[in-house]
Amino acid sequence: MDKIKIHVLHTGEVCVSPDLPFGGEHCNLVKASGIFGKREERLWLPVSVYLIEHPKAKILVDCGWNRDMSPNGTFDKSAQIKSLGSRLLYLVNQGRIEKGAAIDEQLNKLGLKASDLDYVLLTHLDCDHANGLSLVKDAKKILVSSDEVVCAKKHSLVRYKSKWWKDVNLTEFKWNDTEGPVEQSYDLFGDGSIELINIPGHADGLFAVKIKNEQGKYVLLFSDGGYAEKSWKKMITSGISLDKKNQKKSLEWIREQSMDKNCLESLANHDPDVIPHTILL
């Protein structure tokens, strides 16, 4: 098999309470939201997406923010509230995208259009992962786990807003393999090179993406299974969780995978120490 190329891209930033990414096992949702916390203590974290150039397909993992929430490349309160469709979500996580950093703009820099993408893989449907969906709606196939669609409907009043994927053709998939902490995964090509692995806790249908070459070396993109390398090194779960027990189990699996000698890189979507770069696998 030819080399697999993985582009680590940043599509703006998100500003959150430190308890949201690093609140730990006993953090409650109110504290994690930061609504009553101090503004000056908030953290600005990157919003990562990944473009995978695989011999069988061009694949985008997550979409980041939509340009319409930061039209001039700066923080814009009213534009973000309109884009998210929720004042509460704005209070939990503010965002901004500098000019040229939205996903369609970055694809253009790489000589690509959304229609060139064979797959968009949505690790879950939170706003900083799915808000930019309309920018890549012309991709050939946009995949999300059936479990996550059910989860989004269940929590639509507060956490998820269907307007982010309005007029977007989502394809739901069911797990067809047994890799991961709860033995639920989806083998995209049937050859083990791209495996979508259920890591529930933060969200029910959340999945990590494991990209593996013929020699067994791999890169793990673990989305919001943890918010940084220190999450799995120190076993710090995030403050936003639907199932604390599963969240810890998933993080233990991420730690095990990250420490494996065949793991070349293990990346969270919001790690402040990760800078944009390209990985050859």
Domain limits, the chain: 5-280
Q: Across residues 98-125, what is the average pLDDT?
A: 98
Q: Across residues 245-251, what is the average pLDDT?
A: 97
Q: Tell whether the model's pLDDT for residue 1 goes beyond 80.
A: no
CA–CA separation, 42 and 35 (whole Å): 11
Q: Tell whether the model's pLDDT for residue 201 goes beyond 80.
A: yes
CA–CA separation, 96 and 131 (whole Å): 12
Integer angstrom CA distances of residue 145 from 149, 204, 226: 7, 9, 19
Confidence of residue 264 (pLDDT cuts 50, 70, 90): very high
* Residue 265 buriedness (CB in 10 A; 0-12 / 13-18 / 19+): middle
Of the chain, the percentage scoring pLDDT greater than 70 comes to: 100
More confident residue, 171 or 37: 171
Nearest Cα residue to 131 out of 97, 91, 170, 84: 84
Backbone phi and psi for residue 28, each to the nearest 5 degrees, phi listed first: -95, 165
Residues 6 or more apart in contact with residue 38 via CB below 8 angstroms: none
Confidence of residue 2 (pLDDT cuts 50, 70, 90): confident
Q: Across residues 55-71, what is the average pLDDT?
A: 97
Residues 6 or more apart in contact with residue 108 via CB below 8 angstroms: none
Nearest Cα residue to 209 out of 221, 225, 226: 221
Residue type, 138: D
**Architecture of the domain made up of 5-280:** 4-Layer Sandwich (3.60)
Q: Across residues 125-144, what is the average pLDDT?
A: 97
Which range is least confidently modeled, 37-41, 84-88, 218-222, 235-239? Answer: 37-41
Nearest Cα residue to 210 out of 199, 221, 200: 221
The 3-state DSSP class for residue 238 equals coil
pTM: 0.97
Confidence of residue 164 (pLDDT cuts 50, 70, 90): very high
